[in-house]
């Protein structure tokens, strides 16, 4: 079967696949983070496949993660959540958000900040884990 592949509403290719899931695997695989402006936050790319014979359309999304900034020290980041970031004493740096949490962390080495939102909106009514980075 012929399937039209699209990314964020733009049709870019037609492939042969036995079923919608096979076509979606191809569409997910084709998402190239370098095709999008570099971001400090994760974001979702909507992929879709349309059967050329039946017109049926199937959707999915791919989370594109931001690059982790280099640590100013010689090692990898050493993330932690000090009480100064707020949250409760038992869970410093953690705040409730919808059905998930937002976690604030600092690197002990360079002072960079990482924010993880486990209930970020993907734009289509679903949710994903969004990670953002901020320089010190």
For the chain, give the DSSP string.
-EEEEEETTEEEEEEE-SSHHHHHHHHHHH--GGGS---SB-EEEEEEEEETTT--EEEEEEEEPPPPPPPSSSS---EE--GGG-EETTEETEEEETTEEEEEEEETTT--EEEEEEEEE-SSS-EEEEEEEE--
If pLDDT is split at 50, 70 and 90, which confidence band does 47 have?
very high
Residue-level pLDDT at 98: 83
On the question of pLDDT at 23 being above 80, the answer is yes
List, for residues 52-104, the tens digit of each pLDDT value: 999 999 999 999 988 888 998 777 899 999 988 888 889 999 999 888 999 99
Domain regions of the chain by residue span:
2-64, 79-134
pLDDT at 111: 92
Output the pLDDT for position 81: 93
pLDDT tens digits, residue range 96-130? 988 899 999 999 999 999 999 999 988 778 888 99
- pLDDT of amino acid 18: 94
Is 90 exceeded by the pLDDT of residue 39? no
pLDDT at residue 35 in the model: 87
């Amino acid at each position: 079967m012929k399937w039209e592949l699209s990314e964020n509403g733009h049709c870019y290719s037609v492939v042969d696949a036995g079923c919608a899931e096979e076509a979606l695997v191809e569409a997910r695989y084709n998402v190239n983070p370098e095709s999008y402006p570099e971001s400090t936050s994760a974001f979702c790319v909507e992929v879709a496949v349309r059967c050329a014979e039946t017109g049926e359309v199937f959707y999915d999304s791919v989370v594109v993660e931001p690059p982790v900034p280099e640590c100013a020290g010689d090692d990898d980041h050493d993330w932690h959540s000090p009480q100064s970031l707020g949250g409760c004493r038992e869970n410093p740096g953690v705040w409730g958000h919808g059905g998930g949490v937002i976690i604030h962390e600092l690197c002990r080495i360079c002072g960079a900040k990482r924010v993880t939102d486990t209930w970020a909106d993907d734009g289509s009514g679903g949710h994903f884990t969004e990670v953002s980075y901020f320089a010190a």
